[in-house]
Amino acid sequence: MPAPVPLSPDEEAVMRALGRFLLVMPRALDADLMREQRMSASEYAVLRHLSETPGHSLRMSELATACDMSLSGMTRLAAKLESLGCLRRIRCQEDARGANAVLTEKGLERLREAWPTHLASVRRHIFDHLDGIDLGRLAGAFAAMAAEH
C-alpha cells in the first residue's frame, strides 16, 4: 500500500476551515431563527421539507431521513410542531404501522413568516462571503462529496 500523500498547506487550510464551518454554521443559522422567530433550524427544516412535497405530506421515516434526524428525534419534534398546530400526524393508509406528517395551513404560514429571517441569515453568514466563487462548481463539488456517503 503506497504511503499517503500529505496535504498541501492550501489543502490543510481548506480542511481546517471546513471543519470549523461545519461546527459553527448550523449554530449561527439556528441562533438567528431562534432569536428572531422563536423557531429552531430543525423545526424550520421539517416545515420546509413538508412544504416541498406533493400534498405537503411525508412518511415520518422519510421526513426523519430528509432532516438527518433519528426517527425518535423526529417523533418528538413532530409532537411539538403538532401541539403548535403546524402539522398533523395521520396513520399511513398503505401501512397501518407507519404515520405521515402533514403540513397544516398554520404550519405553512409559520414557514412563510420565518423564511425571510432564514434567507437573510443564509445570505449574511454564507453567500456574502462567496463573492467571485463559481457557485455551480461549489454546489457540484459538495453534491459529489455527499453522494459518496
Kindly report the length of the chain: 149
Predicted confidence at residue 97, as pLDDT, reads 77
Predicted confidence at residue 39, as pLDDT, reads 98
What's the CA gap between 11 and 20, in Å, rounded? 14
Predicted confidence at residue 98, as pLDDT, reads 85
Task: Quick: pLDDT tens for 75-116.
Answer: 999 999 999 999 999 998 777 778 999 999 999 999 999 999
Predicted confidence at residue 16, as pLDDT, reads 98
Predicted confidence at residue 11, as pLDDT, reads 97
**What is the separation of C-alpha 22 from the centre of its chain, rounded to a whole number of angstroms?**
13
Cβ burial 109-120 (10 Å sphere, 16+ → b, else e): ebbeebeebbee
Contact 34, 40 (CB under 8 A): yes
Closest CA to 71 of 62, 80, 79, 61: 61
Residue 1, burial from CB neighbour count under 10 angstroms (0-12, 13-18, 19+):
exposed
What's the CA gap between 70 and 18, in Å, rounded? 25
Predicted confidence at residue 84, as pLDDT, reads 98
Contacts of 42 (CB under 8 A, 6+ apart): 30, 67, 69, 77
Instruction: List average pLDDT for each run of 10 residues in the chain, which is 149 residues long.
Output: 95 97 97 98 98 96 96 97 97 83 98 98 97 96 92
